[in-house]
Amino acid sequence: METVNTTSTCSSCFDACGSNELVRRLRLVSILFAIVLFFPPRSSAQQVRPTEQQVKAAYLFNFGKFVRWPSDHALSSDSLEMCVLGKDPFGELLDSTVAGESIEGRKINVRRLVHLQDSAPCNILFVSSSEEGQLAPILKVARQNGTLTVSDIPNFAERGGIIGFVMQQGRIRFAVNREAAEQSRLTLSSELLKVASQVIANSAPPPGSPQPQERKR
């Protein structure tokens, strides 16, 4: 089994064009990602263990800092569209997590969607577990739209999603399907790949074929 080299970048421009300060910040962020404490403090009770949904909401916000969208689906001049498709597991938590925050100077809009056809403007799409039965058409549309898909549906990344939440040793981590990102014309920072619990290099083959190349840790 070939090991995926996650120390290389998906796009040399993505990581090389930044300043030394940006590189320093990305390294710090990767450490924070690894300990699952990567979200801005919202209250004085910082010692309280965050809930599962708090961690996932924080991840959703921060994933946007490590992605470049295709030119025909670039961020609008003033906003990044973060969408939840299906039954919303976050409630007001997601809104409070991104309130007052921005990515590359763009404010974040949170939208709840009932219909897949409304997802075209979304930069980040969280696919609720309520939509598992419609996963194939959802992913097809998301690839066409150049959308970053994220979900806690079991084996989401293995099934063609881009980022899937997984539970490891009591902590919420995430798996990344690098080929799915490439098919969506998204560029993922190598810093994101370094801290993923699993990086899938190619999609699941037909039954009986060799398993996808991957790196686990």
Q: Tell me the Ramachandran region of residue 208: left when phi exceeds 0, alpha when psi lies from -120 to 50, beta otherwise.
A: left
Distances (CA, A) of 168 to 36, 101, 113: 11, 29, 30
**CA separation for the pair 177, 203 (Å, rounded):** 8
Domains of the chain by residue range: 12-42+52-216
Bridge partners for 85 per DSSP? 113, 127
Check residue 119 and give its pLDDT: 95
Contacts (Cβ under 8 Å, ≥6 apart) of 215: 3, 4, 6, 198, 199, 201
Check residue 172 and give its pLDDT: 94
- Strands 198-200, 214-216: pairing kind: antiparallel
**CA separation for the pair 182, 23 (Å, rounded):** 23
State the distance between the two ends of the chain, measured CA to CA, in whole angstroms.
15
Question: Within the chain, which residues score under 50 in pLDDT?
Answer: 1-13, 16-19, 21-32, 34-45, 205-217
Question: Rounded to the nearest 5°, which phi and psi values hold at 83?
Answer: -120, 150
Check residue 17 and give its pLDDT: 47
Check residue 210 and give its pLDDT: 44
CB 25 within 8 A of CB 66: no
Query: Is 0.85 topped by the overall pTM?
Result: no
CATH fold of 12-42+52-216, please?
Rossmann fold (3.40.50)
> Which stretches does DSSP call E strand in the chain?
67-68, 79-85, 102-103, 106-113, 124-127, 148-151, 163-168, 171-177, 187-188, 198-200, 214-216
Tell which residue, 172, 173, 137, 177, has the closest CA to residue 157.
177
Check residue 196 and give its pLDDT: 95
Check residue 44 and give its pLDDT: 46
Task: DSSP letter for 150, please.
Answer: E
pLDDT digits 0-9 by tens, 1-33: 333 444 444 444 455 444 454 444 444 444 445
